[in-house]
């Protein structure tokens, strides 16, 4: 999770007074305790909650092209899967120089391309495997016309074939490798905190957003390393983009820079309903296009009986706690893409969180990709 909504969780999670006082919130957890809390359950075959079989699956595609774009600090490959030909376009300048010239096409004339380019970035936070599941299912759909449930998805496949798709199923394989529950569905916010942000050295849950005060997450203050981080303790969402500390964020930015996507998303998860976050430090017009996409997406979810969040308000940064310049912002500034962070529900057990099944989570993911393809194709026709 990256979103500001999570701030309210800390308040909601506070103990309530009254005759039927709730159990004290959990503030500490050891690895052994966290492991013992993982419920016994059967994970359906369409769900991808780990790296098991991932490389083999990606290296044997018929229609897609797979390449390894980086190696994580833990020695794990970052894969990029593409569908649709790369359309070469003349380039004179990098993006910010082209903007300085008042001629964005000097970076890359996106209107000269026949197909829109869409960049889908899977979990850079390793416990947010909802997007790993979504993207592996999308790859299966592009390969076969069916998702991993065997459901006919030829409509989505046909839309995908009208685009160039850049799919990075796992944006932080080290973090995913550390995630043992395979899904947080049916688990509590304390479990999310343990597997997500990890603990300080005294076993206190680091939590959101306090975990961000130490970066890299390493050294004597750090305890169990959460799935937010790669094996070097770097959270790719907050790498130092002008002086990179690790390999994942630079690999993602290089793809964006080289491909100049029309639309890009970093896929995350949290407790609340699905929501597109306001992109920070980008022009109002880019925010407005992401807002328009979010409204179309929420309408699609409502039509399908799926939950959704509320549209954001286009605004400038400011106030006591302005938004951070994160990976999503950086993607815009190297490529001009309309880039945003997406948050999907985990299906946490507490009633105050968005209640969804694993199947609904997959449907929420696939509907997002569909909305993005429709939106990018519409923009192209304008
Ligand atoms: Zn996240």
The pLDDT tens digits of the residues spanning 209-236 come to 999 999 999 999 999 999 999 999 999 9
pLDDT attached to residue 228: 98
Find the 196 Cα to ligand 1 centroid distance in Å: 8
Ligand 1 centroid to residue 297 C-alpha, Å: 20
| CA of 175 relative to ligand 1 center, distance in Å | 11
DSSP 267: E
Domain ranges of the chain: 28-381
Bridge partners (DSSP) of residue 265 are: 120, 340
Cα(163)–Cα(135) distance, integer angstroms = 15
Contacts of 211 (CB under 8 A, 6+ apart): 197, 198, 217, 226, 228
C-alpha span between 355 and 273 (Å, rounded) = 8
State in Å: Cα 374 to ligand 1 middle.
Answer: 25
- Report how far ligand 1's centroid is from the alpha carbon of 101 (Å): 35
Amino acid 23: pLDDT: 72
What the block records as the tokens of 168 is 């990075």
Torsion of CA 212, 218, 220, 221, to 10 degrees: 10
Report helix, strand or coil for 269.
strand
122: left (phi over 0), alpha (psi -120 to 50) or beta: beta
Helix or strand (DSSP H, E) at 275: strand 275-276
User: Which whole-number Å values give the CA distances from 99 to 106, 118, 195, 291, in the listed order?
Assistant: 8, 21, 41, 23
**3-class SS of residue 199:** strand
Please return the burial class of 151, using the count of CB atoms within 10 Å of its CB with bins 0-12, 13-18 and 19+: middle
In the CATH scheme, what is the code of domain 28-381? 3.40.630.10
Q: According to the model, what pLDDT value does residue 15 have? A: 41
Ligand 1 center to residue 17 CA distance, Å? 32
Which residues on adjacent β-strands are paired with residue 117?
164
Q: What is the pLDDT of residue 251?
A: 98
**Mean pLDDT, consecutive 10-residue segments, the chain of 382 residues?**
44 41 84 98 97 96 98 98 96 98 97 98 98 98 98 98 98 98 98 98 97 98 98 98 98 98 98 98 98 98 98 97 98 98 98 98 98 97 86
Give the tokens for residue 316.
């400038």
* Two tokens, residue 209: 């957003």
CA of 317 to the centre of ligand 1 (A): 21
DSSP per-residue codes, 31-86:
HHHHHHTSPP-PPPTT---SSTTHHHHHTT-SSSEEEEEEE-TTSPEEEEEEES--
- Residue 193, number of CB atoms within 10 A of its CB: 26
Which token pair is 333?
A: 């500034």
pLDDT value of position 22: 59
């Amino acid at each position: 999770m990256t979103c500001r909504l999570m701030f309210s969780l800390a308040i909601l999670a506070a103990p309530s007074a009254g005759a039927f006082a709730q159990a004290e919130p959990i503030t500490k957890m050891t690895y052994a305790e966290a492991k013992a809390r993982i419920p016994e359950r059967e994970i359906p075959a369409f769900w991808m909650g780990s790296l098991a079989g991932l490389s083999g699956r990606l290296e044997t595609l018929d229609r897609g092209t797979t390449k390894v774009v980086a190696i994580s600090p833990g020695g794990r490959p970052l894969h990029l899967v593409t569908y649709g030909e790369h359309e070469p376009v003349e380039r004179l300048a990098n993006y910010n120089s082209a903007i300085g010239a008042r001629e964005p096409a000097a970076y890359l004339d996106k209107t000269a391309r026949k197909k829109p380019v869409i960049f889908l970035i899977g979990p850079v936070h390793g416990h947010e495997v909802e997007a790993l599941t979504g993207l592996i299912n999308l790859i299966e759909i592009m390969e076969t016309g069916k998702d991993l449930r065997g459901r006919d998805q030829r409509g989505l496949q046909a839309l995908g074939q009208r685009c160039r798709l850049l799919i990075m199923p796992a944006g932080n394989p080290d973090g995913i490798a550390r995630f043992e529950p395979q899904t947080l569905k049916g688990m509590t916010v304390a479990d999310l905190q343990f597997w997500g942000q990890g603990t300080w050295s005294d076993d206190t849950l680091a939590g959101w957003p306090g975990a961000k005060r130490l970066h890299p997450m390493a050294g004597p203050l750090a305890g169990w390393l959460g799935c937010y981080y790669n094996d070097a303790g770097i959270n790719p969402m907050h790498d130092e983009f002008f002086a990179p500390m690790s390999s994942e964020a630079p690999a993602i930015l290089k793809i964006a820079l080289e491909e100049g996507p029309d639309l890009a998303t970093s896929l995350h998860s949290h407790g609340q309903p699905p929501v597109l976050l306001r992109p920070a430090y980008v022009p109002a017009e880019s925010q407005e296009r992401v807002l328009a996409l979010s409204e179309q997406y929420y309408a699609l979810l409502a039509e399908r009986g799926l939950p959704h969040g509320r549209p954001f308000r286009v605004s400038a940064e400011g106030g006591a706690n302005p938004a951070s310049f994160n990976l999503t912002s950086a993607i815009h500034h190297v490529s001009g893409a309309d880039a945003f962070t997406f948050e999907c529900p985990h299906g946490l057990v507490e009633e105050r969180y968005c209640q969804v099944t694993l199947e609904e989570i997959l449907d929420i993911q696939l509907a997002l990709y569909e909305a993005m393809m429709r939106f990018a194709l519409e923009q192209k026709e304008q």
